[in-house]
């Protein structure tokens, strides 16, 4: 399965399949990890970050296109991509460890990349099932966005139609259908995390995909944190970083 193409379809990466694009490297046997969608974004003249500024037009736009909180989370992903998830999660974790405040940085979507030995390595890490951690983050976002039941039958059909039009291979298309068809199961999403760092990343990605003012989505995040045995302290720092990302996204 070509993970880069799957993520590109979800986040809205553009230029996939162009000659010499990183997405082709994955199908040819190269890993493409760390440069994949970033390279595609640069070739298309888009901002940096794993989503490359192309969240609008990806499947994530259908998921997060309702309610202000979800829209701002989607915009944060547009400008920061999955790279921002890693940076925000690491910043929150480090602040918690050092008893420092979180969410006060002026540009929450341009945080430095976590140190190589920090455990926050989205580009190369694997989850508890031995799969690419980026797939877990995508699954976490989908589940969180669905947790209030706002996606009705018509919206499900629109999502299925867009998946069919993405030009994905059979394996990628089947995975995408599976992810969108699965229930919003906080226990199953929590079980994807192999380390505390991955718990923080999965929770942060989920927090960006919800409307923080919706009771159903708040209960989902509470359940997710509970199933991961995430401490209230760390969760508080992660929530503050997610809020900072939304504020910055609203300002740009």
The pLDDT score that the predictor gives to residue 229 is 96
Q: pLDDT 10s digit of each residue in the chain, 252 long?
A: 888 888 888 877 532 222 222 233 333 233 344 333 333 333 323 233 333 333 335 777 777 777 777 788 878 887 787 889 999 999 999 999 999 999 999 899 889 999 999 999 999 999 999 999 999 999 999 999 888 876 767 777 888 888 887 778 888 888 988 988 888 999 999 999 999 999 999 999 999 999 888 888 899 999 999 999 999 999 999 999 999 999 988 887
Domains of the chain by residue range: 3-251
Maximum Cα interatomic distance, the chain, rounded to a whole number of Å: 48
Q: Cα–Cα distance between 148 and 210 in angstroms, integer?
A: 9
The pLDDT score that the predictor gives to residue 224 is 97
Rg of the chain's alpha carbons, rounded to an integer? 17
**3-state DSSP helix/strand/coil % of the chain, to nearest 5:** 60, 0, 40
What are the helix and strand counts (H, E) for the chain? 12, 0
Contact status, residue 63 vs residue 176, Cβ threshold 8 Å? no
The pLDDT score that the predictor gives to residue 35 is 34
The pLDDT score that the predictor gives to residue 219 is 95
The pLDDT score that the predictor gives to residue 165 is 79
Which residues are CB-neighbours of 157 under 8 A, at least 6 positions away?
none
The pLDDT score that the predictor gives to residue 238 is 98
The secondary structure of 142-172 as a DSSP string is HHHHHTT----HHHHHHHHHHHHTS---HHH
The pLDDT score that the predictor gives to residue 193 is 98
């Amino acid at each position: 399965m070509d993970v880069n193409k799957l993520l590109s379809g979800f986040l809205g990466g553009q230029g996939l399949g162009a000659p010499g694009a990183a997405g082709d490297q994955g199908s040819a046997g190269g890993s493409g990890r760390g440069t994949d969608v970033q390279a595609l974004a640069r070739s298309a003249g888009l901002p940096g970050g794993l989503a490359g500024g192309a969240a609008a037009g990806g499947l994530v736009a259908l998921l997060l296109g309702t309610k202000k909180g979800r829209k701002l989370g989607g915009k944060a992903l547009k400008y920061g991509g999955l790279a921002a998830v890693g940076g925000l999660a690491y910043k929150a974790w480090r602040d918690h460890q050092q008893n420092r405040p979180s969410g006060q940085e002026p540009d929450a979507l341009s945080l430095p990349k976590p140190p190589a030995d920090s455990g926050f390595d989205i580009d190369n890490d694997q989850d508890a099932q031995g799969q690419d951690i980026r797939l877990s983050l995508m699954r976490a976002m989908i589940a969180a966005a669905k947790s209030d039941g706002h996606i009705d039958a018509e919206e499900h059909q629109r999502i299925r139609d867009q998946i069919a039009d993405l030009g994905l291979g059979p394996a990628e298309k089947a995975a995408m259908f599976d992810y969108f068809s699965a229930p919003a199961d906080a226990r199953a999403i929590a079980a994807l995390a192999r380390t505390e760092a991955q718990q923080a990343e999965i929770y942060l990605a989920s927090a960006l995909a919800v409307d923080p003012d919706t009771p159903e989505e708040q209960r989902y995040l509470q359940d997710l944190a509970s199933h991961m045995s995430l401490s209230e302290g760390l969760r508080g720092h992660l929530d503050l970083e997610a809020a900072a990302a939304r504020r910055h996204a609203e300002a740009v």
